[in-house]
Amino acid sequence: MAILDAKIPEGSLAEKWTQYKNSVKLVNPANKKKLDIIVVGTGAAGSSAASALGELGYNVKVFCYQDSPRRAHAIASQGGINATKNYQNDGDSVYRLFYDMIKGGDFRAREANVYRAAEVSSQVIDHYTALGVPFARDYGGSLTNRSFGGVQVSRTFYAKGQTGQQCMLGSYSSLNRQISEGTVTMFSRREMLDLVLVDGKARGIITRNLITGELERHSAHAVVLASGGYGTIYYLSTLAIQSNGTAAWKAHLKGALFANPSFAQIHPTSIPQLNEYQSKLTLMSESLRNDGRIWVPKEKNDKRHPNDIPEEDRDYYLERRYPAYGNLVPRDVGSRAAKERCDAGYGVGPTGLAVYMDFRDAIKKQGDKTIEANYGNLFQLYDTITGINPYKEPMQIYPSAHYTMGGLWVDYNLMTNIPGLYAIGEANFADHGANRLGAASLMQCSGDGYFILPFTISDYMADQIKTPRIPVNLKEFDEAEENVRKRLEKLISINGTQTPTFFHKKLGKIMWDYCGMVRNEEGLKKAAELVKELKHEFWTDLKVPDNLNELNQEIEKAGRVSDFFDLAGLLITDALNRKESCGAHFREESQTPDGEAQRNDDEYLYVAAWEFKGEKIPHQLHKEKLKFEEVEVQVRSYK
Amino acid sequence: MKVRLKIWRQENAKAKGAFVTYDFEEVSPEMSFLEMLDALNQKLIKKSDSPIAFDSDCREGICGSCGLYINGRPNGPEKGISTCQLSMRAFKDGDTIYVEPWRAKPFPVIKDLIVDRSAFDKILHAGGFISVNTGSAPDGNSILVPKEYSDLAFDSSVCIGCGACVAACKNASAMLFVAAKVSHLALLPQGRPEARERVKNMVMEMDRLGFGNCTNTGACEAECPKEINLTNIARLNREYFTAKVL
Ligand SMILES: Cc1cc2nc3c(=O)[nH]c(=O)nc-3n(C[C@H](O)[C@H](O)[C@H](O)COP(=O)(O)OP(=O)(O)OC[C@H]3O[C@@H](n4cnc5c(N)ncnc54)[C@H](O)[C@@H]3O)c2cc1C
Ligand code: SF4
Ligand code: FES
């Protein structure tokens, strides 16, 4: 267990980061030019990291599988980005944001990392504003805020329902500036398919050129993974459909520990699945819960039109169960409460798997115009997809897979246990514990990329200045490329009868049914069996058309799905191991009499970091004990 | 319902493409247009045919990946949406639907319905940014921005870089795209210091990449999924001429 040193600096929580920055090793500008850094991913995390590193003078190579870095999944984030500006004078502070995240994450995140994320949040907003991100303003011209789930202050900066788009375009613009200055080289339509280690250090990657199918080698002194989350393991999710876990998984196979893989967030408010062809679920931003009231009819099977159901026949179940936070409870709590009502037979809509989110009262109070100004594009999105006008009748919503708190294990430096391999943004596990608060991801991704990694990587790079540029003809590159080639050839030569999508859908259903919002021992064991069987079927009956040496979207999918099978296995193992309920991980065996999550701090106050030991050999569990020095570990209550 | 699809197939950038007809019967009006293509692809793969290549990712109209020319119009018959937001409800049983990639010289076809839009990225490399280094930004509220301007900047900033404007234009002009970015940054005080250089460089790069001239036909505005309006082009022209004169 010696390998799990989180390297948290000494000192009080509020001073750690400052002291760290004061003592970190630096690299002089002339040397930076000779040092190469690979960044995989161009989302809010990757773009900001690449541009900040480029500004510093490192020689940066960036990769994404989309045709343009601007299209990374972060572009789809909607509701907002948190910062501790306290512009609203409502009592906010770094400590409060830190505390909200620690509590929101159900005391399963590392104090020092979370505190630092809160600490840099204000700089993120300043930087984005300077980059031209048009955050919402009030009539005096100042930036304005709204509140988000799980908190009692207004600290969320937003740009209508397109905050992620605007932040993403901000970081993309800083990336473009570095590309034009020649510090950053962009490789789009490339997929990283392996990590290359030389003498145990991360020294490069193998990519597939998605247009020509060619395998390419790229070397560097350090590799940063900013490859996003793996929520698409559920097939249907609110993520972009190409999002996947491959980059992180490949690093895992090379020795990087995977932490808390079963911590997957199910978001309470997305448009319910309408039919079997559906390829994704559309999120209705959490910000809507500021004004939307969530309810179901008090009677089962009430078939009346929602507008005809009078007040006394409505059950505003969140307001009823959680009077202190009401509709703004955290996501895990909101999702489970919706599932509970629907499972009990009170659900609405054609499938009974939906609840109402109603804006009637808000419109009455604030008028159509204000509501439109705040949520116009979301209302329109809802209308386009469902044909229902939310100004006139309540939205129907249901939980859906959304975000993965789990990810590559990193220390305080954001470095994995592989020297020189970093993980930032959604790809790491560090800041959100067992449940992420709304608007805290963009904040973390951008903070990691702009304000944290550039410091922490310097500590490592300072020791690399004597290492000349890494050649790509080393045997380690030969081997890695050969392995990638073999796996692709294997996938395409199965020549069975079913498509990658067929298997992905089936896998997603198993994960949703047994490893989604609620889990239990029996179900998880069953899921493990089902995944094993399906994986076998995949490797014997998969059909991938066409060839490897051309643009072939099916081989891309096949590769990602093949990794999902292995990741699913680990996710289930992790969920089985954690015999407690915490945050998004709800084990039915572990609940209070009134159905709330019951943690077991005596046994599970740790980060579960899993080590890959080889095919067919069980993963080894390493525990990073969580020490809470600043906050008292409490029962998380929103009542 | 069933539809007859006439889809542009082209093996690679160098190959000669052609329309191929597919009679597809398993269409449900609830499918999105891309889900319909997904379903057709599943069928093609099972028959050992090549599936149709097309780009998409977010499937909710925000990433700008998708974008097809459908029955002679970018993103099909409905206004204000991208292709992934188009529903099969927009078609009738028995319809014939032509599906093509964006057609514009600066966007060469890579395969089937996929085109190379990297020219858009290049235009932005030429100046689509504000030059501020990480760490040197002042407090977010130190520069007040009248809400009116900030809102206008937002309206311009929502461009998703899809290229429908270029595909819609008979001259393959990128004016709406460039105008949206120039406007977004020019409307904000943060963007003013570099405004002149920015507009000159971006326009120069746009011309260099072979995009055509704007002759004010307005087809771009009509087909833009984000309804970016022509006043942006007027603003671009104004910015450009002042930049040239000064
Ligand atoms: C619908 C929706 C709304 C959201 N709204 C909010 C919100 O309002 N506020 C908030 O804070 N968060 C929100 N989130 C969460 C947030 O969007 C994500 O957590 C965040 O975008 C993650 O950013 P990232 O930079 O880590 O990765 P991503 O944005 O997912 O980017 C991943 C990048 O990695 C690249 N990549 C991945 N694998 C490979 C590979 N093998 N080879 C090459 N490149 C690769 C991709 O091309 C891409 O560039 C939302 C999420 C969803 C789904
Ligand atoms: S201006 Fe409109 S059509 Fe043109 S790229 Fe932007 S969003 Fe697409
Ligand atoms: S797939 Fe993202 S805009 Fe259509």
B228 CB within 6 A, ligand 2 = yes
Q: Select from A75, A139, A506, A547 the residue whose CB has the most chain B CBs within 10 Å, as the one to mutate to test that interface.
A: A75
pLDDT digits (tens, 9 = 90+) for B81-132: 999 999 999 999 999 999 999 999 999 999 999 999 999 999 999 999 999 9
Q: Select from B33, B35, B45 the residue whose CB has the most chain A CBs within 10 Å, as the one to mutate to test that interface.
A: B45
Share above pLDDT 70 across residues of chain B, in percent, rounded to a whole number: 100
Region of A200 on the Ramachandran plot (φ > 0 left; ψ -120 to 50 alpha; else beta): left
pLDDT at residue A387, rounded to an integer: 85
With the most atoms of ligand 1 within 8 angstroms of its CB, the residue from A157, A191, A227 to mutate is: A227
- Starting from the CA of residue B68, give the closest ligand: 3
Q: Which amino acid is at B120?
A: F
CA of B162, closest atom in ligand 3? 3
B43 CB within 6 A, ligand 3 = no
- Starting from the CA of residue A239, give the closest ligand: 1
Tokens of residue B203, six digits: 């326009």
Rounded to whole angstroms, what are the CA distances from A83 to A21, A158, A201, B81, B174? 21, 11, 35, 32, 37
Contact at 8 Å (CB) between A178 and A37? no
B233 CB within 6 A, ligand 2 = no
Spans of all domains in chain B = 3-111, 118-245
Contact at 8 Å (CB) between A213 and A550? yes
**Is A543 within 8 Å of B131 when comparing Cβ atoms?**
no
- Atom 33 in ligand 1: residue holding the nearest Cα: A41
Contact at 8 Å (CB) between B71 and B98? yes
Task: In whole angstroms, give the CA distance from residue B121 to residue B126.
Answer: 9
B59 CB within 6 A, ligand 3 = yes
A331 a catalytic residue: yes
DSSP class per residue in A457-506: HHHHHTTTTTSPPPPTTSHHHHHHHHHHHHHHHHHHH---SB-HHHHHHH
**Is A550 within 8 Å of B111 when comparing Cβ atoms?**
yes
**Is A174 within 8 Å of B134 when comparing Cβ atoms?**
yes
DSSP 3-state assignment of A544?
Answer: coil
Q: What are residue A204's DSSP bridge partners?
A: A196, A219
User: CB pairs below 8 Å between A and B: how many?
Assistant: 206
pLDDT at residue A377, rounded to an integer: 82
Q: Which amino acid is at A166?
A: Q
**Is B137 within 8 Å of A127 when comparing Cβ atoms?**
yes
Residue B123 distance to chain A (closest CA, Å): 10
**Is B35 within 8 Å of A142 when comparing Cβ atoms?**
no
Contact at 8 Å (CB) between A488 and A548? yes
Report yes or no on whether pTM surpasses 0.95.
yes
Neighbours of A503 (CB within 10 A): 24
From chain A, the residues in CB contact with B117 under 8 A are 67-68
Q: What is the mean pLDDT for each group of 10 consecutive residues in chain A (639 residues)?
A: 83 97 96 98 98 98 98 95 97 97 96 98 98 97 90 93 96 98 98 98 98 98 98 98 98 98 97 91 90 96 95 97 93 94 94 95 95 89 89 96 98 98 98 96 98 98 97 98 98 98 98 97 98 98 98 98 98 98 97 93 98 96 96 90
Rounded to whole angstroms, what are the CA distances from A269 to A150, A309, A327, A442, B25? 15, 21, 11, 19, 34
Residue B199 distance to chain A (closest CA, Å): 15
pLDDT at residue A384, rounded to an integer: 84
Contact at 8 Å (CB) between B80 and A537? no
Fold of B3-111: Ubiquitin-like (UB roll) (3.10.20)
Neighbours of A341 (CB within 10 A): 20
Q: Do domains B3-111 and B118-245 have the same CATH topology?
A: no
Q: Which of A331, A336, A560, A599 is catalytic?
A: A331
User: How far does the centroid of ligand 3 lie from the alpha carbon of residue A268, in Å?
Assistant: 23
pLDDT at residue A376, rounded to an integer: 87
The terminus-to-terminus CA distance of chain B in angstroms comes to 61
Domains of chain A: 267-401 (3.90.700.10), 475-615 (1.20.58.100)
Contact at 8 Å (CB) between A45 and A424? yes
DSSP class per residue in B138-178: PPTTSS---HHHHHHHHHHHT-----HHHHH-TT---HHHH
Task: In whole angstroms, give the CA distance from residue A236 to residue A280.
Answer: 5
Q: Which of A260, A118, A218, A202 has its CA nearest to residue A416? A: A202
From chain B, the residues in CB contact with A384 under 8 A are 81, 85, 87
ipTM: 0.98
User: How far does the centroid of ligand 3 lie from the alpha carbon of residue B226, in Å?
Assistant: 12
Task: In whole angstroms, give the CA distance from residue A328 to residue A63.
Answer: 37
User: How far does the centroid of ligand 3 lie from the alpha carbon of residue B162, in Å?
Assistant: 9
pLDDT at residue A80, rounded to an integer: 94
**Is B124 within 8 Å of A173 when comparing Cβ atoms?**
yes
B163 CB within 6 A, ligand 2 = yes
- Atom 31 in ligand 1: residue holding the nearest Cα: A43
Task: In whole angstroms, give the CA distance from residue B5 to residue B198.
Answer: 44
Nearest CA in chain A to B129: A173
Q: Which CATH superfamily is domain B118-245 in?
A: Alpha-helical ferredoxin (1.10.1060.10)
Token pair 């704007």: residue: B214
With the most atoms of ligand 1 within 8 angstroms of its CB, the residue from A147, A442, A488 to mutate is: A442
